[in-house]
Structure 1
């Protein structure tokens, strides 16, 4: 049923909750697990100049080592936990608008399922803050499993 599962991660507790579900599914279906970290260039554009953003989008991190380390750490956690369970893991770091990058990655890599965490915000907070998960749900044709972090509190 599932041959390739995508887990977008930012290394947060919310992503960690979703990871547990993605690992269980990958193990059950003997699926390959893809770990994706997206550097949100929209939010970074407030503190970076256009030249820095262009370099990041081309994979040249320059003085952005802290961001690169955070990305590699987040995908590395997925890889380590997957390998501990005998699951093949593909790590990838990209930049752009998170929901768009997730959609493009899922479609170009023949992903069967996206597993994402959600903070479970609603109402005004969700409208003001936006939701990568919600935008991903609206933009992709790939099935998305949403795991709410609140259910485990």
Structure 2
């Protein structure tokens, strides 16, 4: 049913919440997990500048050790969890607007399922801040499992 499962990650607790789900499904279906780190171009441009963003897009991370370390930490966590469960993993890094970059990765890599974390915001905070998970869910033509980073409702 699933051969390639994508888990987008930025290394946050929110994205890590999805890793266990992705790895569990990959183990059940003997699938490969693809860990994708997307440097948010808008946020990164403010912090790094256009020239550095272009280096990221061209895969020149070795020239930027601090940036490479951030990506390696995020995708490396996925690889560690997958290895503990005997699941094959591939690590990927790109730059762009996160939802768009995720959708492009899905299209270009024969992905069967996307598993991603969500902050679970609602109302005005979701509208103002946007939601990568929601954008991917609405604009992707394959199953997307959205994992609530907060777990069970504490009310």
TM (norm. structure 1) is 0.93
Correspondence list, 1:62-73, <5 A: 64-73=64-73
Q: Distance in 2 between matches of 1:78 and 1:48?
A: 25
| 2:6/2:34 contact within 8 Å kept | yes
Partner of 1:104: 104
State the match for 1:126 in structure 2.
126
| Number of residue pairs aligned between Structure 1 and Structure 2 | 153
Q: CA RMSD in A?
A: 1.5
Q: Shift of residue 137 of structure 1?
A: 1.2
CA deviation string 1:28-60 (max 9, x = no partner): 111111100001111112233322222222122
1:114–1:60 distance in 2 versus 1, CA, 3 Å: same
Alpha-carbon distance between aligned partners in 2 of 1:71 and 1:90, rounded to the nearest angstrom: 13
For structure 1, list consecutive stretches of 5 or more residues without a partner in the other structure: none
Contact 1:107 1:142 in 2 (8 A): no
Residue in 2 that maps onto 1:45: 45
CA spacing shift, 1:30–1:63, aligned 2, 3 Å: closer
Does residue 106 of structure 2 align to residue 136 of structure 1? no
4+ residue stretches of structure 1 with deviation over 6 A? none
Bigger drift between 113-122 and 50-59 goes to 50-59
Uncovered stretches (5+) of structure 2, i.e. residues with no partner: none
